[in-house]
């Protein structure tokens, strides 16, 4: 695992600067293309989550997190169709990932967050009201991996770190290319006390 290099700026136009040259070159070419493009318009991915798992505590946490923008899927399921829209967020100067989970017996579940680079902090993923998580990004087996370092609340120049036991837990997200179009998405969240609270595995491709 590599730490984020120091030459990050405030604009997330691509991810080359977030990885060492060696790590970037080890990514699958399709992953390189996906994460080196500076988007000016929306791009849409379609696919399905083969598995969406929430523990009992995870379900409670997901409901509570609706107060800060619903950053977590709300229901368990298998083979859930999903549409993901990725577009620039001018306010945060980053990229918003807007996900629509289409459960068979539940209303559409919208999950939304924005990746951006904050000065003196680095790569983060933000939801509403200043809540976010700091991220490490690295290459592993030709996949790109985002791993949480800590969760925080930020208001203007004030930043308060959230203790691990009050956070959802260690969050690891990866994208692994299956071919030049399709990729596997994985999400795992492990709480330091409660154990695994979330898990998702899905396959997607550009619309």
The reported pLDDT for the residue numbered 67 is 86
Name the band, by pLDDT with cuts 50, 70 and 90, for residue 157: confident
Mean pLDDT comparison of 11-20, 61-70, 149-158, highest-scoring range: 149-158
Output the pTM of the full model.
Answer: 0.89
Strand, coil or helix: 59: helix
The CB density around residue 207, as the number of other CB atoms within 10 Å, is: 12
Mean pLDDT of the chain: 90
The reported pLDDT for the residue numbered 13 is 53
pLDDT of 172 strictly over 60: yes
Per-residue pLDDT of 41-55, as tens digits, reads: 899 999 999 999 999
The reported pLDDT for the residue numbered 15 is 83
Give the H or E element holding residue 51.
strand 43-54
- Residue 154: exposure state from Cβ atoms within 10 A (0-12, 13-18, ≥19): middle
- Tell me if the domain spanning 16-206 has CATH number 2.60.120.10: no
Give the H or E element holding residue 130.
none
Query: In this structure, what are the phi and psi dihedrals at residue 66, rounded to the nearest 5 degrees?
Result: -60, -25
Per-residue pLDDT of 196-206, as tens digits, reads: 999 999 999 99
Instruction: Give me the residue spans of the domains in the chain.
Output: 16-206
- Separation between Cα atoms, residue 142 and residue 119, nearest integer Å: 28
Per-residue pLDDT of 112-149, as tens digits, reads: 999 998 888 889 999 999 999 999 999 999 999 999 99
State percent of the chain over pLDDT 90.
75
The reported pLDDT for the residue numbered 69 is 80
Name the band, by pLDDT with cuts 50, 70 and 90, for residue 14: low
């Amino acid at each position: 695992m590599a730490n984020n290099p120091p030459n990050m700026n405030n604009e997330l136009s691509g991810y080359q600067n977030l990885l060492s040259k060696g790590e970037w070159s080890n990514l699958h070419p399709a992953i390189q293309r996906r994460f080196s493009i500076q988007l000016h318009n929306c791009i849409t991915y379609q696919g399905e989550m083969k598995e969406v798992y929430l523990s009992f505590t995870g379900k409670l946490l997901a409901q509570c997190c609706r107060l800060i923008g619903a950053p977590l899927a709300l229901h368990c399921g298998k083979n859930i169709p999903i549409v993901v829209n990725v577009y620039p967020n001018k306010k945060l100067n980053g990229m918003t990932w807007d996900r629509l989970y289409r459960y068979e017996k539940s209303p559409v579940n919208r999950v939304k967050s924005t990746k951006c680079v904050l000065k003196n902090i680095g790569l983060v993923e933000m939801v509403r009201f200043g809540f976010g998580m700091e991220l490490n990004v690295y290459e592993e087996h030709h996949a790109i991996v985002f791993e949480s370092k800590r969760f925080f609340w930020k208001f203007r120049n004030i930043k308060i770190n959230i203790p691990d036991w009050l956070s959802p837990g260690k969050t690891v997200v990866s994208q692994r290319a299956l071919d030049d179009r399709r990729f596997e998405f994985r999400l795992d969240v492990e709480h330091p006390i409660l154990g695994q609270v979330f898990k998702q595995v899905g396959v997607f491709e550009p619309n």
